[in-house]
Amino acid sequence: MNSIEYILFITFIGAGLTFIVHHALPKLRDTLAILVSALDLYFVIQAISEKSKVVLSIADFHLIWKTTPYNNLFAVLIAVLGFLTILYAHDFMSSKDRLGYFYMNFLFALGGMYGIVYSQDFISLFFFWEIMTWASFLLVIYCCKDAQPIGLKYFVFSAIGAYSLLIAIVMLYSLSGNLELTNLISNFSNFSVSNQLIVVTLLLLGFGVKSAIMPLHVWAPGAYFISPSPFTALFSGALSKMGIFGIGLVLFKFAAQSGYFSYVQIILAWIGGITALLATFYAIFQTDAKKLLAYSSIGQLGYIIIGLAIGTPLSIASALFLTILHAAFKAMLFMATGAVYFRTGTTDMNSVSGLIRKMPFSFITALFGIITVSGVPPLGGFAAKWMLYESLIQSRHYFLVIVVFAASTAAFLYLYRFIFSLFLGQEEKEWEDVKEAPLLMVIPMLILSAFVLVVGVFPGLILDPISQSMNYLGNFNFNYETSVLFNEWGNQVDMQTVVNTIGAVFLIVGLIITFKGFKKTRYVSTKDIHTSGEIPQENENLTYAVDFYKPFERAIAPILKSSIDKIYTGIANNLEQAFDYLRYVYTGNGQTYAMYVVFFLSLLILFAELIFGINL
């Protein structure tokens, strides 16, 4: 057996085993799950050097899995994130019931993702796509009754996506009689233009649903919100990246072969841009931390899609860079939120506040997370954003760059609100007894925080595998050094200098201000504040959280008026109503049914020749 076989085998068998173990030896369950994900990680790394290939014949198809640089990139992402989230889940989930179900589906989702990224043919891709989808669906509805409609919405959208994938696959099969990726890629230019266009559109639609691009995103906020936090981290960090994985593949392996590629690029890039902007605006007005992060996630995927769609080397690099980074920082943020939830039982930003001194590590994680999201140097987010802007400007997408910039500036708003509401502000009595999350939850968060810091200083570390996978996607070369980024005009940003400067100034001034009058500097509680002479009462609410961005909301009110979600709900309701009318043909009267038969008979007789032809 080679590594890929091990990975698939271990994950799926492990998934089944955890379910059984949960009922037999509940104590071993978590250990087993962690072990499975650790083994996966080991074999994923093993697979990189091994160059494994697996061929499995099932039905009439050859299912092929192979390692390519592009596959490895995503596989490592999944493996690392999977391991950390399962580690995190151990304590987070400890008080929940139905853990066998949870871990089984968690591992199924992981296994589905491995199957997708390594697949070299569309059947296995679709097969595992579906497994991943239903495993994640089962995790979305895991919590409670309220999750059911949300889960159903997620499933319906996933099904629409999956089935448009399937239509494309079926079309490809009927066009070329084969579903192996390498074959299809080389055959693709032989298809007629309209077929090419339909296939590409359908594939993009299918992958786009998973990556929640704008008109198809409505499942995401609810699903991210309601799923248990360890899974949300994986969901947003890795699972949604499967869409990105597919889009990258479709764009550069298929669409790039045809003449209308530039139109596809522009449309997709603008969809990404609008996604980023609107999702950011929606995120600003959420009152729940997880929903806020969910919208943020949609927005970030918008950037990634822009990067892929632009298709210059620098932009693809930025997209892939952001893909990895987003996995890290969104996992960090969801984990930090999860830690808050674990201790306080809520993620409502209007009720939680002032946890910074109670949960310092969660705060640091959240802080690093938001700095990375915002793209402020010196953390990793800056490198990604920088490459994106440079490539947008240099590929002459002038207005798109404005949209993107507006989106990422507006992102400061929700990011600040996120960290302010949960960790800063008044330290209220209600949360006096809150403690830091358990060690096993803190460790993954800190590991990821360290990662974003290192990547921020040395983006080259990640750009190495990225440039390899870009060479797999096409002939994309770009210039970079371990800590220096270059744009296409040759201008540079030297992260080392930047970090040194920031670090030095910060340290010097920080030390001065700390030690100047150190003994006379007092800490006072947050009740001891300037309130224009009035002394705040013990139980007086001094937290400013509700309607935090009311002025901004007033400013952009026209944009927020329309809701895509409502349109979909309307359509769904009307359809159900229509279906409801339709079943009234079954009147319940036997005679009516007999009438149908006779009516159908006479209809057929009347139009016999028309229907059955004369060459019977």
Partner 1 sequence: MEINWSTILGIIFTPIIAFIVGVTYGGLTRVITARVQNRYGPPIFQNLLDIIKLYSKESNINHGVMQHLGPVFAITASVTTLFFVPVIKDSTVFTNFSFHGDLIFLLYIMVFGSLGMALGAGQTGNPNSAIGVSRGLSQLVGYEVPFVMALVAIMIQFQTTNLNDLLAVQDHFTKWIIFQSPFAFLAAILAFLGMMGYAPFDVVIAPAEIASGPPSEFGGKYLGLMLTSRSIFTFAKLVLFTDIFLGGASDFITLLIKTFILYMIPVLTGIVFPRYRTEQSIRFFWSWPLFFGIIAILVVVF
Partner 2 sequence: MIYYITSILLVLIGMYAVLVKKNLIKIVIGLSIVDNGIHLLLIAIGYVKNGTAPIFSKAGLQPNQMVDPVPQALVLTAIVIGLAVTAVALSLIIRLYDHHKTLNINKIRKLKW
Partner 3 sequence: MSPVHFIAVPLFAAFLIPLIGKVSKELVKIIPGIVLLYLSYLSISLFPIGVNRPIVEIIAGFNPPFGITLYYGPIAAFLTTLITLVGFVIWLYSYKFIIREPTEKYYMLFMMLITGSTGIVLTGDIFNLFVFFEITSIAAYSLTAFLRDRDGAEAAFKYLLIGSFASTFFLLAIAIIYANIHTLNLADIASKIKDIPLTTRLFILILIIIGLGIESEMFPLNGWAPDAYSQAPSPVGAVFGGIVVKAAIYSLMRIIFLMFHTADVLHFLVVMGVITLLIAEMSAMKQQQIKRMLAFSSIGQMGLVIIAFGVGTEPSVRAAMFQMFNHALIKSLLFFAAGYLVFHSGSKKISALDGLGHDKPITSFFFAFGALAIIGLPPFSGFWSKLYILLSVADAGLMVPVVLILISSIIEAVYYLRVVSRLYFYKEEATDVRRTPVSGLVAMGILTVVILIVGFYPNLILHWMTPAANDLLDKAAYIKFGLFH
Among residues 39, 171, 175, 413, which is the contact residue for partner 1, using CB under 8 A? 413
Residue 372 burial by CB count (10 A; 0-12/13-18/19+): exposed, middle or buried?
buried
Residue 548, φ and ψ in degrees, nearest 5: -60, -40
- How far apart CA 313 and CA 446 sit, in angstroms, is 32
Among residues 47, 93, 131, 293, which is the contact residue for partner 3, using CB under 8 A? 131
Nearer to partner 1, 73 or 392 (CB): 392
Does residue 489 interact with partner 1 by CB under 8 A? yes
Nearer to partner 3, 151 or 459 (CB): 151
The tokens describing 263, both together, are: 């139109």
CB of 580 to partner 2, least distance (A): 8
Preceding peptide of 551 cis, ω within 30°:
no
* Residue 475, CA atoms < 13 Å, CB-side half-sphere: 0
Nearer to partner 1, 187 or 496 (CB): 496
Helices (H), 93-228: 99-118, 122-140, 147-176, 181-187, 193-210, 219-226
CB of 578 to partner 2, least distance (A): 14
- How far apart CA 409 and CA 412 sit, in angstroms, is 6
- How far apart CA 359 and CA 446 sit, in angstroms, is 13
Site for partner 1 in 558-577 (CB under 8 A): none
Amino acid at 408: S
CB of 603 to partner 3, least distance (A): 9
CB of 539 to partner 1, least distance (A): 15
Site string for partner 3, 567-586 (x = CB under 8 A): ---------x-xxx-xx-xx
Query: What is the helix (H) or strand (E) element at residue 571, kind and residue range?
Result: helix 564-582
Among 140-148, 255-263, 415-423, 443-451, which window interacts with partner 3 (CB under 8 A)?
A: 140-148
Give the number of other CB atoms < 10 A from CB of residue 567.
Answer: 12
Whether the Cβ atoms of residue 202 and residue 175 lie closer than 8 Å to each other: no
- How far apart CA 329 and CA 369 sit, in angstroms, is 5
Does residue 144 interact with partner 2 by CB under 8 A? no
Whether the Cβ atoms of residue 361 and residue 445 lie closer than 8 Å to each other: yes
Q: How many residues bind partner 2 (CB under 8 A)?
A: 11
Nearer to partner 1, 154 or 389 (CB): 389
Residue 165 burial by CB count (10 A; 0-12/13-18/19+): exposed, middle or buried?
buried
Site for partner 3 in 597-616 (CB under 8 A): 597-601, 604-605, 608-609, 611-616
What is the DSSP code (8-state) at residue 215?
G
Does residue 151 interact with partner 3 by CB under 8 A? yes
Nearer to partner 1, 102 or 420 (CB): 420
Among residues 598, 605, 610, 614, which is the contact residue for partner 2, using CB under 8 A? 598
Does residue 586 interact with partner 2 by CB under 8 A? yes
Whether the Cβ atoms of residue 421 and residue 545 lie closer than 8 Å to each other: yes
Does residue 548 interact with partner 1 by CB under 8 A? yes
Among residues 509, 559, 567, 594, which is the contact residue for partner 3, using CB under 8 A? 594
Does residue 35 interact with partner 1 by CB under 8 A? no
CB of 343 to partner 3, least distance (A): 25
CA nearest neighbour of 141 among 129, 150, 133: 150
Does residue 526 interact with partner 1 by CB under 8 A? yes
- How far apart CA 48 and CA 525 sit, in angstroms, is 53
Does residue 145 interact with partner 3 by CB under 8 A? yes
Does residue 583 interact with partner 2 by CB under 8 A? yes
Cα-based torsion angle of the residue sequence 378, 381, 386, 389 in order, rounded to the nearest 10 degrees: -150
Does residue 431 interact with partner 1 by CB under 8 A? no
CB of 590 to partner 3, least distance (A): 4
Does residue 591 interact with partner 2 by CB under 8 A? yes
CB of 581 to partner 2, least distance (A): 10
Helices (H), 239-312: 241-249, 261-284, 289-310
* Residues in CB range of 241: below 8 A, 6 or more apart: 74, 77, 78, 211, 323, 326, 327
Among residues 175, 406, 446, 454, which is the contact residue for partner 1, using CB under 8 A? 406
CB of 214 to partner 2, least distance (A): 38
Among residues 81, 93, 147, 269, which is the contact residue for partner 3, using CB under 8 A? 147
Binding site for partner 3 (CB under 8 A): 58-60, 123, 126-128, 130-131, 134, 137, 141, 144-145, 147-148, 151-152, 155-156, 159-160, 163, 166-167, 170-171, 173-174, 576, 578-580, 582-583, 585-586, 588, 590-594, 596-601, 604-605, 608-609, 611-616
